[in-house]
Structure 1
Amino acid sequence: MLRALIASSMLSKVADWQFGIVIPLAVLAESGSAAIALVSYALRGVTYVGSPFLGAVIDRYDKRTVFLLAQFQQVICLVLLTAFLHSPTSVAVLSLISGFGGVASTITGQFVLIPKLISEPARPQAVGKLNSAIELSKIIGMVVGGVTFTVLGATGALLCIAGLYFLAGATAALLPAVPSSNQRLHLGRDLAIGFRWVAKPEILWLVVTMSMTNLAIGGLEPALVTELGEQGVNSGLISVVMAVGLFMGVVSSRLAPTMLPSRSPELRILLYQVIALAGLVLVATPVTYLRLFGFMVECFAVAASNVASITYRQEIIPVDVAGRVNATVRMFITGAAPLSVFLFAWTSGLPGLRSWLPSIAIWVVAIVIWAGYTRHGARTQERATSEGAVSGGS
């Protein structure tokens, strides 16, 4: 089961990351504007605003069917994109529509199917394996996207992406059926469940922190791709440079379940966020080698943080409401990614380090917020432990 889920997720994510390099380069070639290229790609992520509704649908219907149909919906969008590639408006609209399939695929594959199919003791390792595979998919997608764009052009590259989504859907058919909860869809109640969970302190401060870090660097890859493309760097070389950094995410995701096992998930997330900030500062420097090293550090720390935060959520959120709650969580966290691309589009005209200062400042604030919550949580736990010891002694 896990192998089929990993294989299907990998194919889908390879396609996602090809999309992330092909669309910005294709729109840049047509329009000559880095801002338009980034906005066209960013619209795909705007659909996370509707993720609470999608989460309700996921919880109400067979999870395998939802996962499979999400892939085929993206196939249709990619085929249509090849026909309307010369119209930036059409590209933007189809990118937006394809995002609904991407959101449903991500929520179902990463947050719902594993708790449904994998027993609780094996989940941390399963999450690590899946995240490692997804990080590897980023590398493959970046490299294949750059190569296919160079060799086949935008149309050929988009058809390759459509083929990958089709294969992802076909592979998903090998998964066992995961029936619904047999409850009728009630949007108001379902939204209330999701938002009530997000309002709980143990989820709320994670959402705030992760949303801010995604706002800071959610658009980092397309921003770097577009920046290097503007400088006339070959698309194949761009994809290789990005892949080198993303490889560190693969290593990190694989090692994450065994790193700092004696520390609480909250503290592990905090440490990884601090390391990622250091990487972001290096990315902001004008020295190419430092930027590449900083991107590697960033990818390593963010991947480890993702594994820790996903495991943290799976331990807290009941399986029966996982779709609705995680969809609401993702609305804020992943919904910040397109805003990040808009942020990079806005700062793309600023000179040197100034274009990176907003992202760095947002990340610093996020660390301060999570550090405050982590310290408060540790103190609360200490008080509870000491009160329990006193009660036991009396």
Structure 2
Amino acid sequence: MKSFWLLTGATAISTAGNTFLYLAVPWALVDSTGSSLLAVLSLAAQTAPYLAAPLLGALIDRYDRRFLMAVGETTQGVCVALIPLLLAFRITGMVFVALCVMGLAKVISDVAVGYGLIPSLVPRGRLDQASSWFNSAQMTARFAGPALAGLTIASVGPLWALEVDAATFLITTLTAFLIPQVGKDGQGDRGMTSMKASLREGIAYFRSRSDLKRLTFAVALYNLGAGALEPTLLTVGVDQWNWSSTALGVAVSCGAVAAALGAWLSPMVLPGNERRHSRISIWLGAAAFGALGLLIGTPIVVVVGFCVLCFGEGGVNATTMAYRQHEIPNELSGRVNAVIRTFIMGAVPVSALMLGLTVNLSGALRVFFPVTVTALLALFVWTIQRKRLEKAPTTRLMPVSEERSM
């Protein structure tokens, strides 16, 4: 578990640095262009590359995941370091290009770490607990990050805050080379099948699993509304509530604390592998309840609703992460999880577009209405099929290379 904690600690530091990016880029775009829409769409630029995730997933299953993590983290650091220069020269289009490249690198790093490295470093019987610890650490970092980011932006401006973020990627890059190689570590498929055949295996496995498809659809629906909630809340805070960067940083930090608590408590709610479907329903329900609070016009109530939503989201993230680590074979983890993340994270740019269209409307009811609707739909989609999924036998299919039918 020593290597797991090393990896968890390093990625938590990087996550704390990334909160500077989530605050500084929208803030800087509003300052330089005066456009709230561009501020919200900056998130879409970072998440749009998830649409190419299946192709990247095939690469993740073919190569050393530690090396891929190092490449992904280094690329992200370089892109973030370039953004202040591009903003200084008001080359707004290239800022979005840098964010897209960063998004591609993040896909590789996230899938390699969450669904490749962690399952290889943790005993299988402790994956639920490890997923809880990992997600709690990331959310705790997001608690400290926004408050520090708000103070940094207020002191030195958003451009220097981005340079601080760029430096944090050096830590995770170095960590990748300190993690021992365990087993094949993503190299078992190299040279055995073509990229096309490898990609087909991942897609075929995903299509064969009704539980994974239902889970993906529900979480993608949730992200369709809530995916761009944070930058939307920040934009509303600046434009309509006239809050300072420090106040906004504290508000986002409170949401991160709630998410960390939800992730920490996730394995304690209805413990046991056989009750994981019900656990997901409970956490989706908590997120939907918080989304209802977003419709209240009072800013403080909106922030409380945001925190409750984050609490449920933290539980959902930790529970579904452990579910996928348990259910998807390691040799297919890159491809299958990349397909899943294509739908889940691919919904975020659409969320940014929807909320970008509502962010300038007056009143919380109009601005956050899409978030509430999609959160309730996600709960409905997952819960209505829960009993059927619990009764259905879990089928573990083997990859084509092992001569089993998909």
- Compute the TM-score of the two structures, normalised by the length of structure 2: 0.90
> What's 1:325 paired with?
336
Instruction: Please give the per-residue CA displacement for 1:61-99, whole angstroms capped at 9, x wherever unaligned.
Output: 111111111111011112221211122211111111111
Aligned counterparts, 1:1-394, within 5 A: 1-85=3-87, 86-178=90-182, 179=185, 180-184=187-191, 186-199=194-207, 200-231=209-240, 232-261=242-271, 264-352=275-363, 353-380=365-392
> What's 1:384 paired with?
none
Instruction: Please give the per-residue CA displacement for 1:148-178, whole angstroms capped at 9, x wherever unaligned.
Output: 2221212211110110111221222211135
Q: 1:379, CA displacement in angstroms? A: 4.8
Instruction: Please give the per-residue CA displacement for 1:249-295, whole angstroms capped at 9, x wherever unaligned.
Output: 11121121122216711111111111111101102211222222211
- Range 254-263 or range 266-275, more displaced: 254-263
Residue 233 of structure 1 aligns to a residue whose secondary structure is coil
Q: 1:356, CA displacement in angstroms? A: 2.2
> What's 2:398 paired with?
none
| Long gaps (5+) in structure 2 | 394-406
**Which whole-Å CA distance do the structure 2 matches of 1:271 and 1:377 have between them?**
16
- Range 220-229 or range 346-355, more displaced: 346-355
Residue 356 of structure 1 aligns to a residue whose secondary structure is helix
**Which whole-Å CA distance do the structure 2 matches of 1:318 and 1:328 have between them?**
14
Instruction: Please give the per-residue CA displacement for 1:160-206, whole angstroms capped at 9, x wherever unaligned.
Output: 01101112212222111354115226221222122222222011000
Return closer, same or farther for 1:380/1:167 CA change in 2, 3 Å cut-off.
Answer: closer
| Aligned-partner residue type, residue 20 of structure 1 | Y
| Aligned-partner residue type, residue 279 of structure 1 | G
Instruction: Please give the per-residue CA displacement for 1:29-52, whole angstroms capped at 9, x wherever unaligned.
Output: 101111011112320110101111
**Which whole-Å CA distance do the structure 2 matches of 1:197 and 1:109 have between them?**
21
**Which whole-Å CA distance do the structure 1 matches of 2:391 and 2:161 have between them?**
53
Return closer, same or farther for 1:225/1:50 CA change in 2, 3 Å cut-off.
Answer: same
**Which whole-Å CA distance do the structure 1 matches of 2:360 and 2:165 have between them?**
31
Residue 376 of structure 1 aligns to a residue whose secondary structure is helix
| Long gaps (5+) in structure 1 | 382-394
Instruction: Please give the per-residue CA displacement for 1:318-356, whole angstroms capped at 9, x wherever unaligned.
Output: 011111111111111112122211111011233321232
| Aligned-partner residue type, residue 235 of structure 1 | S
Count of aligned positions = 381
Residue 297 of structure 2 aligns to a residue whose secondary structure is coil
Q: 1:317, CA displacement in angstroms? A: 0.5
Is residue 17–residue 141 contact of structure 1 (8 Å, CA) maintained in 2?
yes
- Range 57-66 or range 13-22, more displaced: 13-22
Instruction: Please give the per-residue CA displacement for 1:231-253, whole angstroms capped at 9, x wherever unaligned.
Output: 33111111011101210111121
**Which whole-Å CA distance do the structure 2 matches of 1:167 and 1:173 have between them?**
11
**Which whole-Å CA distance do the structure 1 matches of 2:144 and 2:338 have between them?**
27
CA RMSD of aligned residues (A): 1.6
